[in-house]
Every structure is written in C-alpha cells, then in structure tokens.
C-alpha cells in the first residue's frame, strides 16, 4: 500500500482557479510560428503585433493573420484577467464600505446610548453624601493640600561663595573670572 506522502508528491493538490488572478504578471512561453516568445501577456501581445507588422510589410498575408490571432489570444487572456481583478477589487471595496457603514452605525448607537445615560444622570437628583460632624473636633479629618492656605512664593537666593584655600582671612574675595 502506498503512503499518502508519495501520492501527494506525484499528484499535487492545487487549486487552479486562483492562478487566473495572477495572469497579468505571469510569464508565459508561447510557441508561435516563428519560435518561442516568452514574457508577460502584454509583452507577448506587443511581440506578436510587431511580427504581424513585419509580415505585412513583406506581403505575407497568412503569417500576418497568424501573428494577429496569436496576439488576439493573449489579448483575450489579459482582458479576462483584468475583468476578474476589477470584479474582485469592486467586491472588496463594497465589503469595505459595508464594514465602514456598520462601524458608523455602531458608533452612532454607542454615542446615543452614552447621551441617554448622561441625560438620565443629569435629570436624576445627584446624591449628596451625608455629612457627619465628629464630636471630638477635627481629630479624624485628614489635611489635604487644597485645605491649606496658598504658600507664598519663595525668593531665589544667590549661592554663597566658598572661600578658596589660597585666600587668607584678611584678603577680600576675588570676583569670579569669566569663562572663556
């Protein structure tokens, strides 16, 4: 009996429908009448159109038609891929708009609920805590900075200059020298 590993190596399970979206940038090998043409669909279309013009200049109507048919094939391939990309982009934009509209509705509902909650709080009489005076005076009260009178601003003092060890007691202090 074969193991499932060997089977998956021999027969890869790929979803081919997703590869269509990458056609615009995918590199193809086209086997045309003049040999292989390699490139993206747009490059291949340009190459076959150039070959068709060259064949037309040499009065080869059969080769001209052949090259034009090859170019048309890649033109259709490219067009289908671009339509699919546009449809996918539109779908994503639609989903984004729907998500944004849902967020906006939720935000409006939330603001409405908060607004109603504030209205209810404003209309209800605010509860005042009951004030109980202590019999022992102010012993149980805690002093807060708000209850203290405002302090007077302190004036900044100039720092005292320490006498140098070189100076003697009878000499007057020297003025400080300017920094250079």
pLDDT tens column, 107-138? 999 988 888 877 666 565 556 666 666 555 55
Mean residue pLDDT across the chain: 77
| Predicted pLDDT of residue 24 | 79
Q: How far apart are CA 56 and CA 66, in angstroms?
A: 11
In contact, 42 and 25? CB cutoff 8 Å: no
pLDDT value of position 1: 47
Is-contact 150 143, C-beta < 8 A? Answer: no
Name 32's bridge partners. 35
CA distance 62 to 174: 110
pLDDT beneath 50: ranges in the chain: 1, 17-18, 20, 180
> What pLDDT sits at residue 159?
77
For the chain, the distance separating the N- and C-terminal CA atoms, rounded to the nearest angstrom, is 94
Residues 71 and 30: beta-carbon distance below 8 Å: no
């Amino acid at each position: 009996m074969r193991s499932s590993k060997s089977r998956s190596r021999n027969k890869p399970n790929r979803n081919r429908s997703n590869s269509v979206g990458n056609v615009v940038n995918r590199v193809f090998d086209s086997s045309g009448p003049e040999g292989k043409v390699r490139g993206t669909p747009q490059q291949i279309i340009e190459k076959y159109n150039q070959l068709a013009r060259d064949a037309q200049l040499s009065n080869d109507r059969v080769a001209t038609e052949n090259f034009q048919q090859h170019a048309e094939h890649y033109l259709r391939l490219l067009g289908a891929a671009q339509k699919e990309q546009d449809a996918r982009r539109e779908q994503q934009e639609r989903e984004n708009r729907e998500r944004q509209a849902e967020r906006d509705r939720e935000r409006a509902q939330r603001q409405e609920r908060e607004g109603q909650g504030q209205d209810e709080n404003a209309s209800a009489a605010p509860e005042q805590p009951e004030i109980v005076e202590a019999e022992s005076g102010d012993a149980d009260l805690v002093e807060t900075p708000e209850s203290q009178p405002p302090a007077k601003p302190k004036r900044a003092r100039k720092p005292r200059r320490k006498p140098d060890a070189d100076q003697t007691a009878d000499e007057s202090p020297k003025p400080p020298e300017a920094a250079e």
